[in-house]
Amino acid sequence: MLKTSSIIAAFLLVVNLSPAKGQEHSVELIDAAPDADEVAGELREQFADKGIRVKRGSSRTVCEIWFCKQWPVEAGFKTTEDRLYPFVPGQLIGLLHFSRRGKDFRDQSVSSGWYTLRFGLQPIDGNHEGTSPTRDFLVMIGVEQDAVDKVWDVKGLMEASAEAAGSTHPAMMCLQRATDGSQLAIRHDESHDWWILHTTGNGTAGDKTQDVPFDLVVAGHATE
């Protein structure tokens, strides 16, 4: 499960490096599993019993996220400039809840609701150059379209995610190179005006487990 046991539910950690660019963001633990009425039981069982709430200012919830209890990872994976995370395209990573209309990394509007988060890689085709310093992304899929045993090919994954945004482009969240530390935190990338969530998940490779540090842009968008 996520390495957040040392953080009490009421704890808020805020790192604000540029208050002039907008309201502070903070994170806190959700001491409850995903809503059983909204997420099917078999799918719901994949996620940790504690979630993460991202807030803007004193009260507005940006989103809520539950990550998988375990992530199968590639044994011996080494981070490169091209690949940051030891996941395979289509892999289930987490669950996202928007209590009101939200935004993705491309500044697309996404309706309130529940979405699975699956791993994807940005194509190397010249059309996405400059949108992000990394290729690693999570794409949103409406929970009613997804299932634990669902196997997604790249085309189907991107089409289903585009439906979440009501557009021709997938609804996505951008992963960043993981920073050090095991505690739940959020930091501000002043140069892009991004708020980046940091946490640590539990990776499994065969019979071995390992910590997988994880950094995700939860507020802010590409500058294209």
- What does the mean pLDDT of the chain come to? 88
pTM, entire model:
0.87
Tokens 């995370």 belong to residue? 85
Cα-flanking dihedrals φ and ψ of residue 162, to 5°? -65, -30
The pLDDT, as a whole number, for residue 92 is 98
- Whats the size of the chain, residue-wise? 224
Per residue in 161-218, pLDDT (tens digit) is: 999 999 999 999 999 999 998 899 999 999 999 999 999 999 999 999 999 999 999 9
pLDDT at residue 224 in the model = 64
| Residue 197 to residues 52, 123, 129, 158, 207, Cα–Cα distance (Å) | 10, 24, 24, 24, 28
Q: Where are the domains of the chain?
A: 19-219
Q: How far is CA 192 from the centre of its chain?
A: 18
Amino acid 98: pLDDT: 98
Residue 104 has pLDDT above 50, yes or no: yes
- Residue 12: alpha-carbon gap to chain centroid: 19
Cα 132 versus chain centre, distance: 15
Residue range 8-21: mean pLDDT, rounded: 36
**Mean pLDDT score, 38-44:** 96
pLDDT per position as a tens digit, 111-125 = 999 999 999 998 765
Average pLDDT over residues 125-153: 82
